[in-house]
């Protein structure tokens, strides 16, 4: 860990006891030995679908729930063991943007009141100063001043998410965790939030974790990417490395499903496909979590736990067949997704 | 939907006035008529002693059980007292007793339920069990015991009735609060550094008020009933003093004999009050229960 | 003759004291045997169009104008009994939130069997067998066991498959799928889409697929209709609309999906207009980079860009 690391998560573990659909009580490891690092000024993209543990991890970082194992270090200081009282002053520096604008605002408070409430920890400011800052934040988010007197139900999703960002910025944080901030928004408005974030980062040394299952968005915003599946990190590296040469079958499946959208890409989509559904494994299952869905799986995959290993400089994947898959090729993104790409089977013979 | 008035350069954090918002959401006539009727009632109640009414507590043995007529608009009761006058004077008693006891019940029950629901755990268990015990007590018996111990004053009557409202509101609020704990805006409030008590009072309680508004008029009606029950056995409001509940109860015995006017008029007055209160509660709810 | 011909459909919703003009003169045709996508964002009216067809609108809705012709019969003129003949046997709908569309109190197999018996008669055993068959056909593992399970025991993806299985049982001529993949994991979405395609082929049916994801629909659809704020903006074959879009809204929307290679992510500034308002010109005028005076004054008529490709814009 070096001085430039704003946030370091080491071997985080969180276990829940849930009722499965069949009403039996099972323990489910939502976060299974996850480690990640965020450097100052960078955006880490956290990619994963339902059950991946990404939201749980976020809540653990924000101390909205407590980990069962592992550490979280914020600017060198361990925060997972602190009491709420000890941690509270740090809350100003660690903020969050939630997914659903419909439920992340108190319906009985105006936007102005919400923003002022978000500055609770800035005790040295007078009310007048807080109100001024609220107006300034709205302006920064390209929202008209008059929004300050509106209730959440009077605003659109896109507008509310910009307010959510303003709220997170209000206490002047060093780090913001954004949990699928654009998932509930129309595609045509997502770009506005993304570009606002990008310009914020250019101006300050704000560090972000941006969670999304939509790789189209991650592509713009992230510097480095962690891909999670069922509580584990299955691949991580720079954005370029992960997008251009994905080494884990799950990453490839995600890329095939989201990035490629033209009719003739049907082939490509199917080549990357996974079978079946997310299957939560019994605690005694030792093998790879993707077993049963992965088309490259062998017996070894079912027996042996997979570790995260380096497959290239600064690029890790949790699959013993990662190099083989690299051989069979993945079409490199030659500038634009609009060009025709060969299917995987064609590549294999090349 | 109106938005705040803004001058070109300065924005204001203020919203249009409360009344303005009520009217916008419900229409001018609905607000005016309901609040108007309420104000008329209250006005009559306040002014009762100075209005040209018959003496409400002076018995008139020669005029007992007279049907409504030009001299006595609502007729007379079994003691010859003018029902019209009594109905109006009773406004003071009933409104003050019922509304204040329900409001005290709400003021204590709502935070109790919210704290119980939000903190959970042992605190929640203890509070819930205690409120359940109190709900199980037979009301009149407990009322008698309390008054016997603490004295037969109107304040004590209010306290008894308030006491019975506490578990009602506590339970109701608790059930709304439990799912609210996990809603994202509450988590956002934690992330902003709000301590738990601030979250309960600023974020949770305002969002749990909708069912409280809905229940309030009903509670007032029940409060009148309970007060009547107590005065029937001689506790609380002393017999000659006019009070709708006891007027209705006593008058009920005479319906069989064809003397309908003893119960109907105070009954109508009670009905009107509760109805207007109900409408007002809906009107207030309209400001609270907006959807995004 | 088109299988479905919607003519100048206007639908309003009365919510409290407000009127929401959800559809403002929507016209479209769906040819038999095609797979047509209706694409749009929130407020576009795509779901209202689909639910209007089966007259499944909530009581607050009013259809103020227009006809919906299905094989030359105006669906809006039918009474409840006649409609019921059409729903289920000729036109089937798959909804977005499949778990919510299934009755939570009955096992899934039984619900499918019931639908089968309603349309084909037959004994309970026959119906149950058929239910298990179609569940298997939609790729649900252990169909005999799953048929006995309740909807809450199904995952999102499985519930969608069950809904599609119900459509299989009905053998409709027209399958309307309303955002069938929204809310599902991306890796499951591909599977569900493929399944829909398979089923439509097997039934030799026509598909109307409603979605906000223009990239997704391009995988299985051959025609695309783009809607915005209650109006149809562009229609054409998938390759026409996706590769040579003519309407400024479609062009901007596609950019948002496929992205450019710049630093910034493309977006359309502004927001969808408030559907409680009515306006004179083009719905997209206030956000369109090419808007001119005429766009604000006059609503554009539909013009042909090339055969089969139409756009509602003054300048296409």
User: Does residue A1 share a domain with residue A146?
Assistant: yes
Element housing A344 (H / E): helix A344-349
For residue B60, report the phi and psi dihedrals to the nearest 5 degrees.
-135, 85
Helix axes C186-203, C156-170, angle to 10 degrees: 10
The pLDDT, as a whole number, for residue A340 is 26
Percentage of chain B surpassing pLDDT 70?
A: 95
What does the DSSP 8-state code read for residue C279? -
DSSP of C36-81? EEEE--TTSSHHHHHHHHTT---TTEEEEEEEEEETTEEGGG--HH
Altogether, the residues listed in chain B come to a count of 292
Q: Report CA torsion sign: A245, A248, A254, A256.
A: positive
User: Which domain-ending residue is among A187, A222, A257?
Assistant: A222
The pLDDT, as a whole number, for residue C214 is 84
User: Does residue A282 share a domain with residue A166?
Assistant: no
Query: What does the buried/exposed string (b/e) look like for A307-321 if buried means 16 or more CB atoms within 10 Å of the residue's CB?
Result: ebeebeeebbbbbeb
User: Does residue A129 share a domain with residue A255?
Assistant: no
Domains and CATH numbers, chain C: 4-102+154-312 (3.40.50.300)
User: Are A153 and B290 inside 8 Å of each other by CB?
Assistant: yes
The pLDDT, as a whole number, for residue B73 is 84
Give the lowest-confidence range in A237-251, A272-286, C4-18, C213-227.
Answer: A272-286
Query: Nearest-CA distance from A213 to chain B in Å?
Result: 20
Range of the domain at A309: 249-350
CA distances from A309 to A12, A234, A237, A318, C115 (A): 18, 10, 11, 6, 52
| pLDDT mean over A225-247 | 91
User: Which domain-ending residue is among A173, A203, A222?
Assistant: A222
The pLDDT, as a whole number, for residue B198 is 93
The pLDDT, as a whole number, for residue A260 is 55
User: Does residue A203 share a domain with residue A54?
Assistant: yes
Residue partners of C270: CB distance under 8 A and separation at least 6: C286, C287
- C79-138, pLDDT tens digit by residue? 888 888 888 788 988 888 887 888 989 999 999 999 888 888 889 999 999 999 999 988
The pLDDT, as a whole number, for residue B2 is 39
Percentage of chain B surpassing pLDDT 90?
A: 25
- B186-235, pLDDT tens digit by residue? 999 999 999 999 999 999 999 999 889 889 988 988 888 888 877 777 77
Range of the domain at B162: 94-288
CA–CA gap between residue A114 and residue C269 (Å, rounded):
25
Altogether, the residues listed in chain C come to a count of 316
Of B92 and A291, the one with more pLDDT: B92
CA–CA gap between residue A274 and residue A290 (Å, rounded):
9
**Where residue B22 falls among pLDDT bands split at 50, 70, 90?**
confident
B225 and B248 Cβ atoms separated by less than 8 Å: no
- C272-294, pLDDT tens digit by residue? 888 999 988 899 998 998 888 88
Element housing A144 (H / E): none
The pLDDT, as a whole number, for residue B3 is 41
The pLDDT, as a whole number, for residue C227 is 96
What is the CATH classification number for the domain harbouring A138? Answer: 3.40.50.300
Above 80 in pLDDT, residue A36? yes
Above 70 in pLDDT, residue A246? yes
- List C residues 109-168 in contact with A (Cβ-Cβ < 8 A): 141, 152-155, 157-158
The pLDDT, as a whole number, for residue A269 is 60
A287 and A303 Cβ atoms separated by less than 8 Å: yes
Based on the structure, what is the number of domains in chain B? 1
Closest CA to A201 of A214, A211, A210: A210
Which chain A residues are closer than 8 Å to C154 by Cβ? Answer: 21
Closest residue in A to B203 (Cα) is A106
The pLDDT, as a whole number, for residue A9 is 93
What is the CATH classification number for the domain harbouring B127? Answer: 1.10.3720.10
- C236-273, pLDDT tens digit by residue? 999 899 889 999 999 999 988 887 667 888 999 988 88
> Is B18 a member of any domain?
no
- B144-199, pLDDT tens digit by residue? 888 888 887 888 888 888 988 999 999 999 999 999 998 999 999 999 999 999 99
Chain centroid to Cα C315, Å, comes to 28
Above 80 in pLDDT, residue B108? yes
| pLDDT mean over A316-324 | 84
CA–CA gap between residue C64 and residue C19 (Å, rounded):
12
Closest CA to B255 of B73, B78, B25: B78
The pLDDT, as a whole number, for residue A1 is 54
The pLDDT, as a whole number, for residue C47 is 92
A313 and A333 Cβ atoms separated by less than 8 Å: no
Chain centroid to Cα A165, Å, comes to 16
What does the DSSP 8-state code read for residue C230? T
User: Does residue A349 share a domain with residue A214?
Assistant: no
Q: Judge residue A101's burial from the number of C-beta atoms within 10 Å of its C-beta, 0-12 exposed, 13-18 middle, 19 or more buried.
A: buried
Rg (C-alpha) for chain C, rounded Å, is: 20
For residue B69, report the phi and psi dihedrals to the nearest 5 degrees.
-150, -175
Residue partners of A15: CB distance under 8 A and separation at least 6: A27, A28, A29, A30, A68
List the single residue in B6, B192, B292 with the smallest CB-CB distance to A118. B192
The pLDDT, as a whole number, for residue A272 is 64
DSSP of A241-287? HHHHS--SHHHHHHHHHHT--SGGGHHHHHHT---S---PPPTT--S
Please give the mean pLDDT across all residues of chain B.
84
Q: Could you count the other beta carbons within 10 Å of the beta carbon of residue C105?
A: 9
A55 and A65 Cβ atoms separated by less than 8 Å: no
User: Does residue A218 share a domain with residue A261?
Assistant: no
Which chain C residues are closer than 8 Å to A198 by Cβ? Answer: 263-264
List the single residue in A64, A102, A110 with the smallest CB-CB distance to B15. A110
CA–CA gap between residue A208 and residue A223 (Å, rounded):
10
Based on the structure, what is the number of domains in chain A? 2
C neighbour chains, 3+ CB pairs within 8 Å: A
Helix (H, G, I), strand (E, B) or coil at A40: coil
For residue C225, report the phi and psi dihedrals to the nearest 5 degrees.
-120, 125
Biggest CA–CA distance in chain C, Å, is 67
CA–CA gap between residue B162 and residue B142 (Å, rounded):
13
Closest residue in A to B12 (Cα) is A149
Closest residue in A to B1 (Cα) is A154
Query: Nearest-CA distance from A165 to chain B in Å?
Result: 12
User: Does residue A257 share a domain with residue A191?
Assistant: no
Rg (C-alpha) for chain A, rounded Å, is: 21
DSSP of C125-185? HHHHHHHHHHHHHTT-SSHHHHHHS-GGGS-HHHHHHHHHHHHHHH--SEEEEESTTTTS-
User: Are A117 and B191 inside 8 Å of each other by CB?
Assistant: no
The pLDDT, as a whole number, for residue C258 is 81
- A191-224, pLDDT tens digit by residue? 999 999 999 988 888 999 999 988 888 988 999 9
> Does C42 reach chain A within 8 Å, measured CB to CB?
yes
CA–CA gap between residue C100 and residue C110 (Å, rounded):
16
List the single residue in B184, B187, B192 with the smallest CB-CB distance to A117. B192
> Is A241 a member of any domain?
no
A14 and A179 Cβ atoms separated by less than 8 Å: no
- End-to-end, the C-alpha distance of chain C in Å comes to 27
Give the lowest-confidence range in A72-76, A137-141, A230-234, B250-254.
Answer: B250-254
CA–CA gap between residue A171 and residue A181 (Å, rounded):
19
| pLDDT mean over B83-99 | 88
> Is B20 a member of any domain?
no
User: Does residue A258 share a domain with residue A217?
Assistant: no
User: Does residue A188 share a domain with residue A288?
Assistant: no
- A90-129, pLDDT tens digit by residue? 999 999 999 999 999 999 899 999 999 999 988 788 889 9
| pLDDT mean over B53-72 | 80
The order of strands in the sheet holding A5-19 is A25-39, A5-19, A69-74, A77-78
Altogether, the residues listed in chain A come to a count of 350
Query: What is the CB-side half-sphere exposure of residue C121 using CA atoms within 13 A?
Result: 0
**Angle subtended at Cα A222 by Cα A220 and Cα A225, rounded to the nearest 5 degrees:** 130
Query: Nearest-CA distance from B18 to chain A in Å?
Result: 14
| pLDDT mean over B238-262 | 84
Above 90 in pLDDT, residue A22? no
> Is B193 a member of any domain?
yes
- C48-89, pLDDT tens digit by residue? 999 998 888 899 999 999 999 998 888 888 888 888 888 878
Query: Nearest-CA distance from A175 to chain B in Å?
Result: 12
List the single residue in B1, B13, B206 with the smallest CB-CB distance to A148. B13
Q: Judge residue C55's burial from the number of C-beta atoms within 10 Å of its C-beta, 0-12 exposed, 13-18 middle, 19 or more buried.
A: middle
Closest CA to C189 of C147, C160, C164, C214: C160
| pLDDT mean over C214-224 | 86
- C125-184, pLDDT tens digit by residue? 999 999 999 999 888 888 999 999 998 888 888 899 999 998 888 889 999 999 998 888
The pLDDT, as a whole number, for residue A330 is 57
C88 and C115 Cβ atoms separated by less than 8 Å: yes
List the single residue in A49, A158, A217 with the smallest CB-CB distance to C186. A49
Query: Nearest-CA distance from C81 to chain A in Å?
Result: 38
Please give the mean pLDDT across all residues of chain A.
83
> Is A240 a member of any domain?
no
Please give the mean pLDDT across all residues of chain C.
89
List the single residue in A49, A191, A275 with the smallest CB-CB distance to C185. A49
The pLDDT, as a whole number, for residue A331 is 52
Mutating which of B13, B182, B189, B291 best tests the A interface, going by the most A Cβ atoms within 10 A? Answer: B13
């Amino acid at each position: 860990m070096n001085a430039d690391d704003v946030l370091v998560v080491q071997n985080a573990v969180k276990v829940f006891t849930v009722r499965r659909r069949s009403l039996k009580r099972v323990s489910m490891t939502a976060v299974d030995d996850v480690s990640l690092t965020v450097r100052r000024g960078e955006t880490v993209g956290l990619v994963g679908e339902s059950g991946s543990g990404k939201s749980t991890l976020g809540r653990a970082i924000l101390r909205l729930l407590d980990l069962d194992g592992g550490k979280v270090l914020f600017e060198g200081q361990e925060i997972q063991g602190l009491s709420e009282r000890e941690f509270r002053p740090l809350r100003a520096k660690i903020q969050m943007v939630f997914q659903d604008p419909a439920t992340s605002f108190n319906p009985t408070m105006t936007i102005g009141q919400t923003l002022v409430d978000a500055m609770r920890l800035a005790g040295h400011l007078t009310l007048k100063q807080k109100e001024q800052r609220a107006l300034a934040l709205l302006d920064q988010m390209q929202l008209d001043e008059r929004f300050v007197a509106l209730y959440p139900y009077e605003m659109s999703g896109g507008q509310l998410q910009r307010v959510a960002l303003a709220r997170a910025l209000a206490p002047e944080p060093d780090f913001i965790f954004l949990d699928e901030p654009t998932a509930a928004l129309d595609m045509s408005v997502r770009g506005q939030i993304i570009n606002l974030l990008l310009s914020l980062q250019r101006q300050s040394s704000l560090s972000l974790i941006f969670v999304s299952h939509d790789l189209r968005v991650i592509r713009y915003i992230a510097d480095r990417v962690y891909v999670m599946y069922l509580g584990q990190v299955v691949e991580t590296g720079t954005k370029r490395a992960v997008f251009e040469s994905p080494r884990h079958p799950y990453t490839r499946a995600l890329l095939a499903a989201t990035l490629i959208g033209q009719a003739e890409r049907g082939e490509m989509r199917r080549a990357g496909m996974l079978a079946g559904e997310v299957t939560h494994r019994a605690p005694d299952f030792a093998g790879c979590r993707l077993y049963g869905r992965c088309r490259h799986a062998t017996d070894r995959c079912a027996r042996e736990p997979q570790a995260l290993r380096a497959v290239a400089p600064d690029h890790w994947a949790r699959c013993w067949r990662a190099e083989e898959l690299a051989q069979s090729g993945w079409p490199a993104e030659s500038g634009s997704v609009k060009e025709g790409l060969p299917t995987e089977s064609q590549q294999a013979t090349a | 939907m109106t938005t705040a008035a803004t001058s070109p350069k300065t924005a204001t954090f203020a919203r249009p006035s409360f009344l303005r918002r009520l009217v916008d959401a419900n229409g001018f006539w609905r607000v005016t008529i309901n609040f108007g009727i309420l104000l008329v009632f209250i006005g009559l109640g306040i002014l009762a002693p100075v209005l040209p009414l018959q003496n409400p507590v002076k018995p008139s043995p020669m005029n007992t059980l007279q049907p409504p007529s030009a001299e006595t608009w609502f007729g007379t009761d079994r003691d010859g007292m003018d029902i019209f006058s009594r109905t109006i004077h009773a406004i003071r008693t009933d409104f003050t007793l019922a509304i204040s006891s329900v409001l005290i019940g709400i003021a204590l029950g709502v935070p109790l339920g919210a704290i119980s629901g939000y903190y959970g755990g042992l605190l929640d268990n203890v509070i819930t069990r205690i409120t359940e015990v109190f709900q199980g007590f037979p009301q009149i018996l407990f009322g008698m015991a309390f008054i016997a111990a603490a004295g037969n004053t109107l304040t004590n009557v209010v306290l008894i009735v308030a006491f019975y409202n506490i578990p009602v509101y506590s339970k109701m609020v608790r059930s709304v609060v439990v799912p609210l704990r996990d809603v994202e805006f509450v988590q956002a409030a934690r992330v902003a550094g709000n301590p738990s008590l601030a979250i309960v009072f600023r974020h949770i309680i305002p969002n749990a008020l909708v069912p409280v508004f809905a229940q309030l008029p009903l509670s007032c009606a029940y409060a009148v009933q309970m007060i009547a029950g107590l005065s029937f056995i001689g506790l609380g409001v002393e017999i000659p003093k006019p009070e709708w509940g006891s007027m209705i109860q006593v008058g009920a015995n005479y319906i069989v004999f064809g003397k309908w006017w003893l119960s109907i008029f105070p009954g109508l007055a009670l009905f009107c009050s509760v109805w207007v209160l109900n409408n007002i509660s809906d009107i207030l709810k309209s400001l609270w229960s907006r959807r995004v | 003759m088109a299988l479905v011909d919607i003519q100048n459909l206007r639908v309003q919703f009365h919510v409290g004291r407000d009127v929401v003009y959800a559809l403002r003169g929507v016209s479209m045709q769906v040819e038999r045997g095609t797979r047509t996508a209706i694409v749009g964002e929130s407020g576009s009216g795509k779901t209202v169009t689909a639910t209007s067809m089966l007259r499944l609108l909530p009581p607050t809705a009013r259809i103020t104008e227009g006809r919906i012709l299905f094989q030359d019969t105006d669906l809006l003129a039918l009474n409840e009994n006649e409609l019921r003949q059409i729903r289920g046997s000729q036109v089937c709908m798959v909804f977005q939130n499949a778990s919510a569309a299934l009755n939570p109190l009955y096992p899934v197999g039984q619900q499918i069997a019931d639908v089968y018996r309603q349309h084909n008669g037959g004994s309970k055993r026959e119906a149950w067998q058929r239910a298990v068959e179609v569940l298997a056909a939609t790729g649900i593992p252990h169909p005999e066991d799953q048929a006995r399970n309740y909807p809450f025991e199904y995952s999102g993806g499985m519930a969608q498959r069950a809904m599609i299985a119900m459509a299989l049982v009905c053998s409709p001529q027209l399958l309307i799928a309303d955002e069938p993949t929204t809310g599902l994991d991306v890796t499951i979405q591909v599977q569900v889409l493929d399944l829909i395609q398979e089923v439509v082929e097997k039934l030799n049916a026509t598909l109307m697929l409603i979605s906000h994801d223009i990239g997704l629909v391009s995988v299985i659809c051959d025609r695309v209709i783009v809607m915005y704020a209650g109006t149809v903006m562009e229609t054409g074959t998938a390759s026409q609309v996706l590769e040579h879009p003519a309407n400024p809204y479609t062009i901007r929307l596609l950019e948002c999906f496929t992205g450019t290679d710049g630093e910034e992510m493309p977006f359309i500034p502004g927001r969808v207009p408030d559907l409680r308002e009515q306006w004179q010109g083009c719905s997209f005028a206030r956000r369109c980079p090419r808007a001119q005076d005429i766009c604000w004054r006059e609503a554009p008529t539909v013009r042909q860009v090339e055969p089969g490709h139409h756009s509602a814009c003054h300048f296409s």
